[in-house]
Amino acid sequence: MSTYGVARKIWQLAKKPMKKAKALGIIITNNKIAESNNFGRGCHLRNTAWGKYSGCNHGCTIWDTSIGNYTNIAWNVSIGPRTHIYENFTTHDEFYQPGEGDTDRGKMPFDGFICRIGHDAWIGCNSVILPGVSIGNGAVISAGSVVTKSIPPYAIVGGVPAKILKMRFSDETIGRLEETQWYMKSKGEILLMKETLEGLVGFNMKDYQEKYLRVRTMLT
């Protein structure tokens, strides 16, 4: 293949995720997305960067945010929405010069992004994550939460405003899990070390399934 042919192939591959996104009615402006990312219909993404195998469900609005690898974002989630000035006599933008009232955008504390979502995070539906917030690796945001402050790794939070409900694992286990940096590896590599990682956190799929079935039986 000629140099031109190689360049054209690279260009076509780069455009493929964009075509997929536009076909789903997604508004995309200045985003870094890859073929392994998945998005639901009707999302509005602006100035975002997505790690491998991460994605969001339908109806999400995500601005000025970096997202790590293997992160799940449910439907109708808002991340990095701009705020309005409520200390003045009006909250409306009509009385400000262009960009004057959008003070959040001038901060960008996370390497050019106003919010940062770590690796392997799970953000529940109808949640709002305000500007300036960082969500740690492995954190879980309960559905309907309003997150006003940064969340440490592997914390489960919920409420309005969101508060820490519990930690997923002990500090020792979190430290050992973070040392593996498994979320930086390929899918194939992770599958090879899956049993080791499950053992590290004391997880057994058979026990989990039996527990899940017992709960379902109790509720029916």
Residues annotated as catalytic (active site), given as ranges: 84
Smallest Cα–Cα separation from 184: which of 106, 65, 99, 70? 70
Tokens representing 117? 């979502």
- Looking at residue 81, the DSSP 8-state letter turns out to be P
* Beta carbons within 8 Å of 97's beta carbon, 6+ residues apart: none
Task: With both helix axes pointing from N to C terminus, report the angle between 194-201 and 171-180 in degrees, rounded to the nearest 10.
Answer: 160
Give the three-state DSSP class for 179: helix
Task: Provide the β-strand partners of residue 44.
Answer: 27, 61
Tokens representing 204? 């057994």
> CB–CB of 83/100 below 8 Å?
no
* Beta carbons within 8 Å of 30's beta carbon, 6+ residues apart: 46, 47
β pairing state of 155-158 and 163-167: antiparallel
Alpha carbon separation from 165 to 1, 99, 142, 157, 208 (Å, rounded): 57, 38, 10, 5, 21
Based on DSSP, count helices (H) and strands (E) in the chain, helices before strands: 5, 15
